[in-house]
Amino acid sequence: MHIKSPSPNGSLLKIAVEELTKQGCSVTVSDLYAMQFEPRATRNDIVGHLHNSEAFNYGVETWEAYKRGCLSKDLVEEQKKVREADLLIFQFPLFWFNMPAILKGWMDRVLVQGFAYDFSKIYDGGLLQDKLSLFSFTTGVSQEIYSKEGIGGDIRYVLWPMQHGIMHFCGVKVLEPHICYAPENVSEEKRKEMLAAWTQRLKTLWKEEPINCSPEWYFK
């Protein structure tokens, strides 16, 4: 019998669920692939009539639908999870200097105006300012490549649109990211060390202070 071991991201997710549950936290997982989550932002996200059927504007239509309680069921369910959460952990493999398309689609569709922000309520004034977030991800290449001297540049440059442009924009406080560099290319022993480091960090996660969400953190 051949039992396939979980992927690095699957292992990191499993550890987070187990460790946080052990601490007494109520943990809810949205496995976007298993859910077959729709990443495309379309007319289907609005139930019933449009605010302006002559010229479809997704941002305006979802804002109006949110106020009317007319967003699609999948969005309402995900927004409920966000509303009830104290901490949002995003676990993913880095694809092309970015989160996978399905996760970006979650951001695009779930964090709509009226729910996550208003144009008079952004960044420190965003509507989700009672929440913490943490980006935990794996890379395909080594830490040396994602350094200021490396060809990929500092990994913090990659985090700017995700942490600052999405989370901080919506008022969410951001914890230091957790990065596992090239887990597929290291020894089994090194992979175990990576998982142990994540377990250890989770034990004291609630004592951590958020990063200083300013351009300096990313580009200094």
**pLDDT tens per residue, range 30-74:** 999 999 999 999 999 999 999 999 999 999 999 999 999 999 999
CB 93 within 8 A of CB 137: yes
What per-residue confidence (pLDDT) applies to 185? Answer: 87
- The whole-angstrom separation of Cα 134 and Cα 184 is 22
What per-residue confidence (pLDDT) applies to 1? Answer: 55
Mean pLDDT, rounded, of the chain:
95
What per-residue confidence (pLDDT) applies to 215? Answer: 94
High-pLDDT (> 90) share of the chain, %: 95
- Report helix, strand or coil for 56: coil
What per-residue confidence (pLDDT) applies to 220? Answer: 85
Secondary structure (DSSP) of 126-155: -TTTT-EEEEEEE-SS-TTTTSTTSTT--H
List helix spans (H) across the chain: 8-22, 58-68, 73-84, 101-110, 155-159, 188-203, 215-219
Residue 4 has pLDDT above 70, yes or no: no
**pLDDT tens per residue, range 169-216:** 999 999 999 999 999 888 999 999 999 999 999 999 999 999 999 999
Q: Which of 163, 158, 152, 148 is nearest to 211 (CA)?
A: 163
- The whole-angstrom separation of Cα 137 and Cα 213 is 19
Average pLDDT over residues 122-146: 96
High-pLDDT (> 70) share of the chain, %: 98
Residue 6 has pLDDT above 80, yes or no: no
Q: Which residues make beta-bridge pairs with 121? A: 118
List the domain boundaries for the chain. 8-219
CATH code of the domain occupying 8-219: 3.40.50.360
**pLDDT tens per residue, range 86-98:** 999 999 999 999 9
CB 111 within 8 A of CB 154: no
